[in-house]
């Protein structure tokens, strides 16, 4: 087969382009995949491009490949891999591995078989789904509780839906009426447009005056003001202390008064997609985390996410606003940066 591949990249001006690279070597624990679809994660992947455009950078420099979630067909596996074989349909994840490219080489534990009912385009959502799953797990939901999700981008949308599957009642907050409309269309229990609605009054009505049991803050940038707002709508004890759990995911930065300043709120960081991710030995399959000690790893999260998709519990198609071939990657990048109120999930497609 051809030893070259096409890869989506970003240049120094913040624009997308397609470059040619050698296909990575198929080493121990690795799987070679012919990609059919990949998904852009606009928050993580495009923040640098957005900054470059805002600053008016003119030097394209050396473009760098990006992307970390796709789905396709296994072409070959290393001799050390027994879990997959040529012809298998798989979802793949992982920065530096599952890029926007027609051919990728991915560690076996960052791949998962696609159920028959899950398409390649749907499977490309696997990484962001398990990132959302890890954030929700950090918030420790309990059946019947009230969950607030702040930031209705892809991670927020998926965390909200997973919260419903876990038996919670979910309200989504965002400044974008477009994102809130998407959330409503696929069944999120309630929404609030920050900056327009009376968020405290709507929260009180939604929770029947009880306040939120937990919250997930799923956006990048400065979250100081948002955290102050979230604090105001969490549960309040008779002695005046705010109660509940707040999980922070992604590139969020915030300042707050700790100790008595937060009452009895728990702030919990959520990193990546679950145990195992970025442990190279685990990713390749050299070592394992026994299920009896660690039930939920990145791999078991992947399997659960795809199971939910196959069972129709997560309809990621409702999040896709753009479907474009790889050659039009700059159109996709531009849409996310310049039309954020009309762009959410962008799937890149790969021709033979």
| b/e sequence 142-178, b meaning 16+ C-beta within 10 Å | eeebbbbbbbbbbbbbbbbbbbbebebbbbbbbebeb
Cα distances (angstroms) measured from residue 72 to each of 98, 127, 158, 334: 10, 14, 22, 25
pLDDT tens digits, one per residue of 166-201? 999 999 999 999 999 999 999 999 999 999 999 999
HSE, side-chain direction, 13 A CA sphere, residue 167: 6
pLDDT tens digits, one per residue of 209-235? 999 999 999 998 899 999 999 999 999
Residue 302: alpha-carbon gap to chain centroid:
12
Cα–Cα dist 6/350, whole Å: 10
HSE, side-chain direction, 13 A CA sphere, residue 226: 25
Using DSSP, state whether 72 is helix, strand or coil. strand
* Structure tokens that stand for 329 in this block: 């990657």
Cα distances (angstroms) measured from residue 4 to each of 24, 103, 119, 202: 9, 9, 26, 55
Q: Is 2's pLDDT higher than 80?
A: no
Question: Model's pTM, two decimal places?
Answer: 0.94
Higher pLDDT, 126 or 276: 126
HSE, side-chain direction, 13 A CA sphere, residue 274: 29
pLDDT band at 44 (very low <50, low <70, confident <90, very high): confident
pLDDT of 25:
96
Residues 6+ apart with CB under 8 A from 138: 247, 249, 268, 269, 270
pLDDT of 74:
98
Instruction: Compute the average pLDDT of residues 326-336.
Output: 97
Domains and CATH numbers, the chain: 4-124+274-349 (3.90.180.10), 132-270 (3.40.50.720)
Q: Among 60, 56, 66, which Cα is nearest to 21's?
A: 66
Residues 6+ apart with CB under 8 A from 54: none
């Amino acid at each position: 087969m051809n030893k070259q591949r096409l890869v989506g990249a970003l240049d120094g001006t913040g624009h997308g382009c397609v470059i040619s690279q050698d296909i990575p070597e198929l080493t121990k624990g690795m799987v070679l995949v012919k990609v059919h679809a990949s998904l852009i994660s606009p928050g993580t992947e495009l923040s640098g491009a957005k900054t470059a455009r805002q600053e008016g950078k003119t030097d394209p420099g050396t473009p760098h490949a990006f992307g970390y979630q796709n789905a396709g067909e296994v072409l070959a596996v290393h001799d050390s891999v027994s879990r997959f074989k040529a012809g298998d349909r798989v979802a793949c994840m992982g920065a530096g591995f599952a890029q926007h490219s027609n051919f990728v080489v991915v560690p076996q534990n960052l791949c998962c078989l696609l159920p028959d009912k899950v398409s390649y385009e749907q499977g490309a959502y696997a990484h962001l789904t398990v990132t959302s799953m890890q954030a929700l797990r950090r918030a420790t939901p309990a059946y019947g509780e009230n969950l607030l999700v702040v930031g209705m981008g892809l991670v927020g949308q998926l965390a909200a839906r997973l919260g419903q599957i876990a038996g919670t009642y979910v309200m989504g907050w965002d400044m974008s009426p477009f994102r809130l409309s998407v959330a409503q269309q696929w069944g999120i229990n309630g929404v609030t447009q920050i900056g327009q609605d009376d968020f405290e009054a709507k929260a009180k009505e939604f929770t029947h005056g009880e306040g939120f049991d937990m919250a997930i803050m799923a956006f990048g940038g400065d979250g100081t003001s948002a955290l102050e707002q979230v604090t105001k709508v969490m549960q309040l004890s008779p002695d005046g202390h705010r109660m509940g759990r707040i999980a922070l995911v992604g590139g969020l930065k915030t300042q707050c008064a700790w100790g008595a300043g937060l009452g009895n709120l728990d702030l919990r960081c959520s990193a990546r997609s679950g145990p195992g991710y970025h442990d190279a030995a685990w990713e390749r399959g050299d070592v394992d985390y026994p299920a009896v000690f660690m039930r939920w790893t990145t791999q078991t999260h992947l399997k659960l996410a795809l199971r939910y998709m196959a069972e129709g519990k997560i309809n990621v198609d409702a999040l896709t606003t753009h479907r474009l071939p790889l050659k039009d990657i700059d159109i996709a990048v531009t849409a996310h940066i310049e039309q954020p109120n009309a762009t959410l999930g962008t799937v890149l497609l790969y021709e033979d």
